[in-house]
Structure 1
Amino acid sequence: MNANLILVGRVLLSIIFIVAGFGKLTGVAGFAGYLGSLGFPAPLVMAYLTGAFELFGGLAILAGFQTRIVAIALAAFCVATGLIAHLAEPNVLMKNIALAGGFLVLAGAGAGAMAVDKAKRESRYA
């Protein structure tokens, strides 16, 4: 049961980042404008980097690839973006904090049995 719950948790945590990252990359001009309004340097470059980080980080969590490292990176990202971009939006800030908590739990628990990380571990010792 634990393996199934971790898999479902990974899927649920990853969906928002896959969708958001894809949206940022396909609508990069709008997101770059938003970053520019926040005073970020090189907003177009930052928009591409942020979109790619969200998309590929979400895909890594979904697949269970480098789960602990990616989960910690996404937890830090959630806190940072909450404090930088959503401080005036309490509900969005709390969502980011909650997502960070979920990622930290995932980092502690690992990817579970149904993950690329597990397949890599098993192939090393086979």
Structure 2
Amino acid sequence: MSKTNDLIILVARILLSVMFIMSGFDKLVNPAGTAGMITGAGLPAADLLAYAAGLFELVAGLFVLVGFQTKLTGWALALFCVFTGLVFHSSAINVPDFPAAANGWLTVFNQIMLMKNITLGGAYILLATFGPGAYSIDARRGVVVTA
């Protein structure tokens, strides 16, 4: 692979990691919003799951950033993205006492979040399949991931 492609992959890894590093950190220091969404989805142990999600997102985001355990992390994030998209973003929003137009806007926003999650799932499958490039811990360790 060329140095240019490896540099592009590095930039892509940085971009793919930012959301999860920031989101994971936020869930760890302020889990209430996530716990509320988990409760609203009917899942048990909302506080525990919020912290677990935060820890997973932070660690997985850091792994993507540095290119460590890329195949496993890519597949795990792909599954996480699709799962959370389907569980938390696939239904209409109906907040009691909100105007119909506001609930409609929130539903459209939720659909966009579902599409974002599914799209990110595809990006992480590509990362898992084609690898982290030369500028990564995996490459330094001699781990070769190619299609």
Q: TM-score, normalised by structure 2?
A: 0.80
Q: Does 1:90 align with 2:89?
A: no
Shift, 1:36, TM fit: 1.3
Report which stretch shifted further, 9-18 or 27-36: 27-36
Residue type of the alignment partner of 1:50: A
Aligned to 1:3: 6
Match among 110, 119, 126 for residue 105 of structure 1: 126
Q: Which runs of 4+ in 1 moved over 2 A?
A: none
Shift, 1:21, TM fit: 0.6
CA contact 2:37–2:88 (8 Å) conserved in 1:
no
SS at structure 2 position matched to 1:121: coil
User: What is the aligned-residue identity percentage?
Assistant: 47
Aligned to 1:78: 81
Aligned to 2:38: 35
CA contact 2:90–2:111 (8 Å) conserved in 1:
yes
Q: Tell me how large the CA RMSD over aligned residues is.
A: 1.1
**Structure having the larger proportion of residues in helix:** 1
Shift, 1:39, TM fit: 1.2
Aligned to 2:62: 59
Question: Cα deviation per residue 1:71-98 (whole Å; 9 max; x = unaligned)?
Answer: 0000010000000000032111110011
Unaligned segments of structure 1, at least 5 residues: none
Shift, 1:33, TM fit: 2.2
Unaligned segments of structure 2, at least 5 residues: 92-109
CA contact 2:81–2:117 (8 Å) conserved in 1:
yes
SS at structure 1 position matched to 2:90: coil
Q: TM-score, normalised by structure 1?
A: 0.93
